[in-house]
């Protein structure tokens, strides 16, 4: 009876369904190239046929921008019966070499734009993988290979390995399973309103949490993928108009790029945007609303297949004033439709009161949580000591059950015995019309131990002084929360647009014996 009523869940099944139901419709737009869902399925199955004998049961890595190659790998590699390793395109050669060796990748599919860094990386390896270059070699392999699709018998088997940023120590290989990706993709399609009429622009890197599972989510909806190798505001705005883009994702920094570009103007048809990686400021949320973008705030980590929580908008909030709506949208929200209910726990593991004030650590579990860290059982056990994954993020639970992030536990500033949430200060600074982005960290202070300092990027052609910004924040927050100094300039970021506070912290605390004063 199992054959009648049970089928192992795998996200590659979405492409089978899309090809069967919408085979003649456009699946992929990549520059001047276009493929239907029937053609995409055939290409992915041929990719699987080419990779299977080369991989011999070991992972296949891909280093490519957001092109059809990386999209096809999300189906072709699993159909070859092996895990996918989508490599961060901004890594240096030693980091790439480490990931290839740690994952034991058998094959590396690489875009020629990365030839130099890959050559350097492979020269550092004792047993480098076989290399397939996108373009003529890749297309030749597809043309010569026989279509293949390995059946999944265990839905909790290894689908992909995603490496964390590695801000402390070596990157960790986060292991995804077929079941989790299938369900997470379904949640993303439902929450963002994807449908066969949707056109999704790839402004989020596909290597990041497998693109939050959107390679599979967009396909599940039989929507159109519009590839974008590099996020340039002019190109994004051009594609929004030329292709009729209805959906895109990205960190708040992507929203800032679009909101204040030279090409910026209100859209005629609503574009739905999912944002995560950092809490969006109420200021940028208001700006996007004015331009006709409908922004949904998501929250998650690499360990949770991307967004595990969503600020699920309630219709009764529609009648609230704009400032109140923006503050509500900045909250991280509640578990998505396939998640277990998120918790905020005290150090003893008990739930904090839902009073919007008691701070604890956000903890998650469920089908969209990783299998664990590859070859690191100790780190896995430390991350989930009691069956709940500890995110390292501090938050509160409001009386309505919605969670709001207050800080990364390592980003809490304790000045003169008072706890300061850097996020709160950052959002206050971002309200200033001259400010594009801001990051706040603790810096050492002889009297208070440590005090908040703000690192600020201004809008192009805008101006503001240190004293002006300090006075601006002083009118919005308690005096002890106000930055004691402001440093202007570009902010260091990860490949996904997340500000790297640890880089700022390293410089600020250089020479100090301890990072906590």
Q: How many CB atoms lie within 10 A of CB 381?
A: 11
Q: Are residues 392 and 264 in the same domain?
A: yes
Gap between the Cα atoms of 159 and 11, Å rounded: 9
| CATH number where 494 lies | 3.30.300.30
Q: How many domains does the chain have?
A: 3
Non-local CB neighbours of 279 within 8 Å, separated by 6+ positions: 252, 297, 330, 332, 405, 423, 427
Beta-sheet strands, E only, within 228-270: 247-250
| CATH number where 108 lies | 3.40.50.980
Q: Are residues 29 and 43 in the same domain?
A: yes
| CATH number where 266 lies | 3.40.50.12780
Q: Are residues 259 and 393 in the same domain?
A: yes
Q: Are residues 359 and 431 in the same domain?
A: no
Is position 372 within any domain? yes
Q: Are residues 264 and 345 in the same domain?
A: yes
Handedness of CA 331, 334, 336, 341 (dihedral sign): positive
Q: Are residues 357 and 495 in the same domain?
A: no
- Name the pTM for this structure: 0.87
Structure tokens at 499: 């500000």
Q: Facing residues of 335 across strands?
A: 309
Is position 164 within any domain? yes
Q: Are residues 434 and 390 in the same domain?
A: no
Contact between residue 6 and residue 25 where contact means Cβ atoms under 8 Å apart: no
pLDDT 10s per residue in the chain (517 long)?
578 999 999 999 999 999 999 999 999 999 999 999 999 999 999 999 999 999 999 999 999 999 999 999 999 999 999 999 999 898 888 889 999 999 999 999 999 999 999 999 999 999 999 999 999 999 999 999 999 999 999 999 999 999 986 444 578 999 999 999 999 999 999 999 999 999 999 999 999 999 999 999 999 999 999 999 999 999 999 999 999 999 999 988 899 899 999 999 999 999 999 998 777 777 888 899 999 999 999 999 999 999 999 999 999 999 998 888 888 888 899 999 999 999 999 999 999 999 999 999 999 999 999 999 999 999 999 999 999 999 988 999 999 999 998 877 767 787 865 678 888 899 889 999 999 999 999 998 877 878 999 999 999 999 999 999 999 998 888 788 899 999 999 999 987 788 998 899 889 988 775 555 5
Among candidate residues 513, 507, 393, the one with its CA nearest the CA of residue 443:
507
Is position 246 within any domain? no
Of 392, 411, 430, which residue constitutes the final position of a domain? 411
Alpha helix segments (H runs only) across 261-383: 282-291, 322-329, 377-383
Is position 265 within any domain? yes
Q: Give the end-to-end CA distance of the chain in Å, rounded to a whole number.
A: 64
Contact between residue 414 and residue 446 where contact means Cβ atoms under 8 Å apart: no
Contact between residue 244 and residue 199 where contact means Cβ atoms under 8 Å apart: yes
Three-state secondary-structure class, residue 505: helix
Non-local CB neighbours of 283 within 8 Å, separated by 6+ positions: 326, 427, 430, 431
Of 411, 441, 467, which residue constitutes the final position of a domain? 411
Tell me whether residue 169 is exposed, middle or buried, using C-beta atoms within 10 angstroms of its C-beta: 0 to 12, 13 to 18, 19 or more: exposed
Is position 223 within any domain? no
Is position 229 within any domain? no
Domain that holds residue 27: 2-188
Residue 414 host element (H or E): strand 413-415
Q: Are residues 433 and 359 in the same domain?
A: no
Q: Are residues 337 and 389 in the same domain?
A: yes
Structure tokens at 431: 């309200």
CA neighbours closer than 13 Å in the CB half-sphere of residue 179: 16
Q: Are residues 400 and 501 in the same domain?
A: no
Gap between the Cα atoms of 103 and 213, Å rounded: 20
Is position 231 within any domain? no
Q: Are residues 418 and 406 in the same domain?
A: no
Contact between residue 245 and residue 239 where contact means Cβ atoms under 8 Å apart: yes
Of 154, 188, 222, which residue constitutes the final position of a domain? 188
Is position 375 within any domain? yes
Q: Are residues 320 and 354 in the same domain?
A: yes
Beta pairing class for 435-445 and 224-226: unpaired
């Amino acid at each position: 009876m199992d054959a009648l009523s049970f089928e192992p869940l795998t996200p590659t099944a979405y492409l089978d369904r899309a090809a069967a139901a919408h085979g003649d419709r456009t699946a992929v737009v990549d520059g001047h190239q276009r493929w239907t869902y029937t053609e995409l399925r055939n290409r992915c199955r041929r990719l699987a046929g080419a990779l299977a004998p080369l991989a011999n049961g070991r992972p296949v890595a891909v280093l490519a921008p957001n092109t059809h190659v990386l999209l096809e790998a999300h189906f072709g590699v699993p159909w070859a019966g092996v895990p996918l390793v989508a490599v961060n395109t901004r890594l240096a050669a030693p980091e790439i070499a480490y990931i290839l060796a740690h994952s034991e990748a058998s094959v590396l599919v690489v875009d020629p734009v990365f030839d130099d860094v890959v050559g350097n990386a492979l020269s550092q390896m004792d047993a480098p993988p076989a290399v397939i270059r996108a373009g003529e070699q890749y297309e030749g392999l597809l043309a010569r290979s026989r279509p293949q699709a390995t059946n999944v018998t265990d839905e909790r088997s290894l689908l992909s390995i995603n490496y964390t940023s590695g801000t402390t120590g070596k990157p960790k290989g986060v292991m995804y399973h077929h079941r989790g990706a299938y369900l997470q993709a379904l949640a993303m399609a439902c929450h963002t309103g994807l449908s066969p009429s949707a056109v999704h622009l790839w402004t989020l890197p596909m290597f990041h949490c497998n693109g939050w599972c959107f390679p599979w989510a967009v396909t599940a909806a039989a929507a159109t993928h519009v590839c974008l190798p590099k996020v340039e505001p002019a190109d994004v705005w051009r594609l929004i108009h030329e292709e009729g883009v209805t959906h895109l994702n990205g960190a708040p920094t992507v929203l800032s790029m679009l909101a204040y570009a030279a090409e910026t103007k209100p859209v005629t048809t609503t574009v739905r945007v999912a944002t995560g990686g950092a809490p969006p400021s109420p200021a940028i949320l208001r700006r996007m609303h004015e331009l006709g973008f409908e922004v949904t705030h998501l929250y998650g980590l690499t360990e949770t297949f991307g967004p595990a929580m969503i600020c699920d908008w309630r219709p009764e909030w529609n009648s609230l004033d704009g400032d109140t709506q923006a503050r509500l949208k900045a909250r991280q929200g509640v578990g998505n439709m396939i998640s277990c209910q998120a918790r905020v726990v005290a150090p003893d593991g008990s739930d904090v009161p839902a009073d919007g004030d008691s701070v604890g650590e956000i903890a998650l579990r469920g089908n969209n949580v990783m299998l664990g860290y590859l070859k690191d059982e100790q780190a896995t056990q430390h991350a989930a000591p009691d069956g709940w994954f500890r995110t390292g993020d501090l938050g509160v639970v409001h009386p309505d059950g919605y969670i709001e992030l207050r800080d990364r536990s390592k980003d809490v500033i304790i000045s003169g015995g008072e706890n300061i949430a850097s996020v709160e200060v950052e959002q206050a600074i971002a309200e200033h019309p001259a400010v594009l982005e801001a990051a706040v960290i603790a810096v050492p202070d002889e009297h208070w131990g440590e005090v908040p300092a703000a690192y600020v990027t201004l809008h192009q052609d805008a101006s503001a002084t240190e004293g002006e910004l300090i006075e601006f924040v002083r009118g919005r927050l308690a005096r002890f929360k106000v930055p004691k100094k402001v440093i202007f300039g570009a902010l260091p970021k990860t490949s996904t647009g997340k500000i790297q506070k640890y880089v700022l912290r390293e410089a600020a605390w250089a020479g100090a014996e301890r990072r906590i004063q």
